[in-house]
Structure 1
């Protein structure tokens, strides 16, 4: 399967972001309305939620709504408040070397994914990451050397809260350390259960187990897959092999020390690498974050695309996403 990926540099909000929004909006609009308009909250409620929980983003949100055309549906969508439920797979871990590295696989449907790497400087802080919803992020880092990544938490409960990609954007726009990020993740409501792992430039890390129906738990876990303290959704756990992936990563981190590249390479092979695209849980990419260096790699079994937060190069690449695992050392493309 070949997909076009884009890397865009948006120092300031303006025509570039507006063009991207109008390109993606028809598909996002259909997704946002898939349950009908009734379950989606009104604009006033969505904006009020942002003012209450992420006030630092309200000015940015208003700019985005204007660039999107000022429509009611677009504004409600961009708030990320009580969006439709969505599920993903994903594995993530912190490799504890001299320069700790965050590694993650993003397992999701290729038909419902931006395939967009974005560097922004919207509030005086540079942020680089993998886009979702055109300003949310599923993983990323900022110029303070803080990196974040999410996995689905393996629970069916849906409640009052934000879609987690906007919460990751908020963390990277407003936090500089893992401790600050943990406090933000503990207080901001999420509409579904997610595990968010954070690594900062001082080598501190944590994983927040977030949920809409109970307080977030801040842990020192270096590994997160698709359950929290225990498996609560058995069918999903079995389908995604969340327990097996967690055990595999924990064994690699605790039973023996291995080089960084070997640890990263394990994400490009089973049991971490998934080809379950027909069920919406195929591995779309592996991301490698080195927050102290402010570098990010996107990896696939056949290639690597490297980005620097400080020396970012925009561009496009057609990436081959294999529907069967190719056990081969990736070459830079």
Structure 2
């Protein structure tokens, strides 16, 4: 697996190259259930304009680079995308130098493999790209860090895909408190746990789901179920969500340093090699808001990125367990 780190303040030739390289696969995924199952452009644009207006200028710039393709315009709003359910583990380590540590567990064939450093709305943001401008996890220059994990509750409804919600929070909020306030007004399509921290060390997890008001908790850990008792026990059992959650809690009780916690994320039960089942750990990320850096880690390898780091690639070997 080759990861690409790109630095581009606003969409330009680097983003256009990413679009051209990935659009055939994204288009096939977006239309896999038929074009009529996805919202028309007027509907998708209206929701983006109503709920995430700060992102509209960037969306319009991307449309120009995408050649005005209508299907791309619809998909890039991330309104009512096809469902995807990644498994993840995430925890905030508090102390003098807070950090958010997370594992992203999914199929390597469905991973964009891009770390994007940008300033779409003027605020520097770095994170792991998904759906061309959404983020699986990320941090802004004010020190806010946000990471997503599937929330384990069945069902969907019209709403935004969570990667664009993570992007939006990092564009408009500078603290956990501001991010919570922004979440209260954004409709989401599926259930997710968003774990957050900021430069002050405040931490918590927001559970968001279609048709429900966000539930804000001070819990510094999350896996793939809501609260303590899974609403979908079969899904939780399949992905060992409760086991991983308990392990995270035990780790934080030991008052470990961020690097020590990160080492634990490279081992079972947090680290998974079930890549053929779509549940392999693609990376461990350690976000350090006071230092403005993120360390991507794999067994025996660390790759550090900052807001101003130049473009770079790194190769990683993933081994099926």
Shift of 1:268: 0.2
2:247 counterpart of 1:248? yes
2:316 counterpart of 1:323? no
Q: Is contact 1:196–1:207 with CA below 8 Å preserved after alignment? A: yes
Q: CA RMSD in A?
A: 1.0
> Which position in structure 1 is the counterpart of 2:311?
314
Name stretches of at least 5 consecutive residues in structure 1 with no aligned partner.
325-333
> Which position in structure 1 is the counterpart of 2:274?
276
> Which position in structure 1 is the counterpart of 2:24?
26
Q: Is contact 2:92–2:100 with CA below 8 Å preserved after alignment? A: yes
Deviations 1:272-328 (A, max 9, x none): 00111111110000000001111100000120000122x31211111112323xxxx
> Which position in structure 1 is the counterpart of 2:55?
57
> Which position in structure 2 is the counterpart of 1:99?
97
Q: Is contact 2:93–2:257 with CA below 8 Å preserved after alignment? A: no
CA distance in 1, matches of 2:205, 2:95: 18
Instruction: Give the alignment of 1:119-268 within 5 angstroms.
Output: 119-229=117-227, 230-254=229-253, 256-268=254-266
Deviations 1:49-68 (A, max 9, x none): 01111111111111111111
CA distance in 2, matches of 1:15, 1:257: 45
Shift of 1:198: 1.2
CA distance in 2, matches of 1:226, 1:89: 6
> Which position in structure 1 is the counterpart of 2:77?
79
CA distance in 1, matches of 2:287, 2:240: 24
Question: TM-score, normalised to structure 1's length?
Answer: 0.94
Deviations 1:19-48 (A, max 9, x none): 210110000011111111121000000010
> Which position in structure 1 is the counterpart of 2:111?
113
> Which position in structure 2 is the counterpart of 1:291?
289
Shift of 1:257: 2.3
> Which position in structure 1 is the counterpart of 2:45?
47
Task: Please give the secondary structure, in 1, of the residue aligned with 2:166.
Answer: helix
CA distance in 2, matches of 1:55, 1:261: 38
CA distance in 2, matches of 1:320, 1:182: 37
Shift of 1:187: 1.8
CA distance in 1, matches of 2:65, 2:174: 28
Q: Is contact 1:186–1:218 with CA below 8 Å preserved after alignment? A: no
CA distance in 2, matches of 1:72, 1:147: 33
CA distance in 1, matches of 2:234, 2:134: 28
Shift of 1:154: 0.6
Shift of 1:97: 2.3
Deviations 1:252-273 (A, max 9, x none): 112x222332211010000000
Shift of 1:128: 0.4
Number of residue pairs aligned between Structure 1 and Structure 2 = 320
CA distance in 1, matches of 2:317, 2:275: 14
